[in-house]
């Protein structure tokens, strides 16, 4: 129960699944027409039926000479036009030929965006930050992300920065997201106040599918980097959403390496047999854990500090994609879909929530380890260096979960009788291990694509639409109603009206 592909080893022998179970899961995949659905995705069919869109994030990392059609048109040349434009622009900013309004180089970048326009780029940035190759290219540069509309996040982002040396990248697929647009207006005011309104042209650029709104906002369309409605927000890190800020920070060549890593998994996913296909195996096992064994959660546990933002990114990719209540045809599902994803890097998580995983609820775990650390070890002479110590835990935890510890073993160790129930570990707790040979831009791209495709496999088996997100709309429209009320109360003194008792009371208290 181990498969290998291009520097990645997946060991799923500690799942609660026998060879026979896995065979049955392959049958399930066949019954659910998994291969055909994967093919339809790569073929640019409009599989996101509720939004009438294709799902083609794989085209974002396809080689220049690839042909991937959407509505009979090869989209790869458009992808590469934008990539070429990003390469040129990021090189100009990095080499100082594109400067700010006062002639100073733009060494700081603030990327404004939220959800899919933030989490993926943050994950990749955090993972590249400590990669020696990538960080060499980032010398003297700083990349930050402004996501939350909270004034605290604004204050944290602009603290210590001067607009003179700052480039703001507004990232929003729709260019209507309330939080992002308010933050964009805030930073536009920050720039204008210090440098005058004309400076905005030099200090603000945008990434969006809605170039009309970009222009309306006051950003020169020549300084806008497009993507397309066939890229879902949470699948957009390989579009200009991630490529622009990351190229500004690390240079285009590093980002190209990242795209190549993701593309290698796309190839693997679309061509390998199910038995050897890492995303397919992961997806099937997740379906097994959620739908057959009834485990509602999944812990993502990377044993690399560089991957500290991986779980938050996958949280959105997975939970926004597969947290659905109806089938793709709109029929209520007779089973639960999606899982509650959470995680922290090891070993930090061990000192936090692993207690529950070992002796409380059963939570299938993904352990992700790296053979060669990004960083040299400080104490060279130590027999077990920092990385070995980290990896000792990576290897030990899955066995602790799988085998547990019995009362008999504890008795042999002369543990006091009254402590035996407390020190017993039931074992048979499922996990899987993913071992990466290294963690550079290429592997980071691979890891991303593995998890993206795993989520798609789960959705294909469950028969849901993993590519829409109607569940985020209701909260947004209620917030609009509250926003209107706050405005009316503040500007015209209007009383709070039209809300239930609880909200009315709380809103009134807030306005007081
Ligand atoms: O509210 C959820 C969501 O629609 C995500 O799917 C998306 O990634 C995020 O908001 C941001 O949207 P946009 O890129 O359009 O600003």
Each residue's pLDDT tens digit, 89-137 = 999 999 999 999 999 999 999 999 999 999 999 999 999 999 999 999 9
User: Which of 51, 233, 471, when mutated, tests ligand 1's pocket best, judged by the most ligand atoms within 8 Å of its CB?
Assistant: 233
Ligand 1 centre to CA of 115 (Å) is 5
pLDDT in the model for residue 384: 79
What is the predicted ipTM?
0.98
Q: What does the block give as tokens for 58?
A: 């794989």
- Has 276 been annotated as catalytic? no
* DSSP secondary structure string for all residues of 371-405: SS-SS--S-TT-SS-HHHHHHHHHHHHHHHHHH-B
User: Which of 122, 147, 173, 480, when mutated, tests ligand 1's pocket best, judged by the most ligand atoms within 8 Å of its CB?
Assistant: 173
Q: Determine what percent of the chain is predicted with pLDDT higher than 70.
A: 100
**What mean pLDDT is predicted for residues 22-31?**
98
Ligand 1 centre to CA of 243 (Å) is 17
Please report the atom of ligand 1 found closest to the CA of residue 476.
1
Ligand 1 centre to CA of 182 (Å) is 14
SS (H, E, C) 399-458: HHHHHCECHHHHHHCCCCHHHHHHHCECCCCCEEEEEECCCCHHHHHHHHHHHHHHHHHH
Does the structure show a pLDDT above 90 at 382?
Answer: no
How do beta strands 340-342 and 297-302 pair?
Answer: parallel
pLDDT tens-place string over residues 303-324: 999 999 999 999 999 999 999 9
The rounded mean pLDDT for the chain is 97
pLDDT in the model for residue 48: 98
Does the structure show a pLDDT above 80 at 281?
Answer: yes
Are 429 and 358 in contact by the 8 Å Cβ rule? The answer is yes
Please report the atom of ligand 1 found closest to the CA of residue 116.
8
Which residue of the set 351, 372, 422, 484 is catalytic? Answer: 351
Site residues for ligand 1, CB cut-off 6 Å = 114-117, 172-174, 177, 180, 233-234, 320, 469, 472
**Exposed (0-12), middle (13-18) or buried (19+): which is 148, by Cβ within 10 Å?**
middle
Q: What does the block give as tokens for 264?
A: 């290698």
pLDDT in the model for residue 385: 87
**What mean pLDDT is predicted for residues 79-85?**
98
Ligand 1 centre to CA of 164 (Å) is 29
Which residue of the set 39, 73, 104, 476 is catalytic? Answer: 476
Ligand 1 centre to CA of 177 (Å) is 7
pTM across the whole model: 0.97
Q: Determine what percent of the chain is predicted with pLDDT higher than 90.
A: 98
Ligand 1 centre to CA of 319 (Å) is 14
| Angstrom distances, CA of residue 303 to CA of 252, 433, 469 | 28, 11, 31
Confidence of residue 32 (pLDDT cuts 50, 70, 90): very high
Write down the residue that tokens 């809605």 correspond to. Answer: 210
> How many Å apart are CA 417 and CA 421, to the nearest integer?
8
pLDDT tens-place string over residues 135-164: 999 999 999 999 999 999 999 999 999 999
- Has 320 been annotated as catalytic? yes
- Has 351 been annotated as catalytic? yes
Tell which residue, 54, 467, 452, has the closest CA to residue 265.
452
Query: Ligand 1, atom 3: nearest CA belongs to which residue?
Result: 115
Which residue of the set 320, 339, 344, 452 is catalytic? Answer: 320
Handedness of CA 434, 134, 62, 229 (dihedral sign): positive
């Amino acid at each position: 129960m181990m498969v290998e592909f291009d520097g990645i080893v997946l060991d799923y022998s500690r799942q609660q699944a026998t060879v026979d179970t896995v065979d049955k899961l392959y049958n399930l995949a066949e019954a659910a027409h998994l291969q055909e659905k994967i093919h339809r995705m790569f073929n640019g069919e409009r599989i996101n039926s509720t939004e009438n869109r294709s799902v083609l994030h794989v085209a974002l990392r396809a080689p220049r000479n690839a042909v991937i059609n959407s509505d009979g048109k090869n989209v790869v040349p458009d992808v590469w036009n934008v990539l070429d434009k990003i390469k040129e622009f990021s090189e100009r900013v990095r080499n100082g030929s594109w400067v700010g309004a006062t002639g100073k180089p733009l060494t700081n970048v603030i990327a404004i965006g939220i959800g899919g326009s933030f989490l993926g780029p943050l994950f990749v940035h955090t993972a590249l930050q400590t990669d020696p190759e990538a960080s060499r290219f980032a010398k003297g540069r700083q990349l930050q992300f402004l996501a939350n509309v909270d004034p605290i996040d604004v204050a944290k982002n602009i603290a210590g920065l001067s607009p003179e040396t700052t480039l703001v990248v507004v990232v929003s697929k729709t260019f209507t997201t309330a939080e992002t647009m308010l933050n964009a207006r805030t930073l536009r005011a920050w720039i204008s106040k210090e440098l005058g309104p004309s400076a905005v042209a030099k200090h603000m650029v945008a990434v969006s599918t809605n170039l009309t709104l970009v222009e309306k906002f006051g950003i020169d369309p020549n300084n806008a980097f497009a993507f397309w409605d066939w890229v879902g927000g949470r699948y957009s890190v390989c579009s200009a959403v991630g490529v622009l800020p990351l190229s500004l920070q690390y240079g285009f060549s590093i980002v190209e390496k990242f795209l190549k890593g993701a593309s290698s998994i796309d190839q693997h996913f679309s061509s390998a047999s199910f038995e050897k296909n890492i995303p397919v195996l992961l997806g099937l096992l997740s379906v097994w854990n959620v739908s057959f064994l009834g485990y509602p959660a999944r812990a993502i546990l990377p044993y690399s500090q560089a991957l500290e933002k991986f779980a938050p990114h996958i949280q959105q990719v997975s939970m926004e994609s597969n947290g659905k209540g109806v089938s793709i045809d709109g029929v209520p599902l007779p089973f639960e879909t999606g899982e509650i994803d959470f995680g922290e890097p090891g070993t930090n998580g061990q000192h936090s929530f692993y207690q529950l995983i070992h002796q409380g609820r059963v939570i299938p775990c993904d352990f992700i380890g790296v053979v060669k650390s990004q960083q040299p070890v400080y104490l060279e002479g130590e027999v077990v260096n920092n990385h070995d110590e980290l990896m000792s835990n990576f290897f030990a935890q899955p066995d602790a979960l799988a085998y547990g510890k019995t009362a008999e073993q504890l008795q042999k160790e002369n543990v006091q009788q009254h402590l035996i129930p407390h020190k017993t570990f039931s074992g048979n707790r499922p996990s899987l291990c993913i071992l990466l040979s290294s963690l550079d831009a290429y592997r980071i791209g691979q890891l991303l694509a593995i998890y993206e495709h795993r989520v798609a496999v789960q959705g294909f088996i469950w028969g849901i639409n993993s590519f829409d997100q109607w569940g985020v709309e209701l909260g947004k429209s209620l917030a609009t109603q509250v926003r209107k009320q706050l405005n009316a109360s503040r500007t015209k003194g209007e009383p709070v009206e039209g809300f239930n008792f609880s909200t009315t009371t709380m809103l009134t208290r807030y306005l007081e």
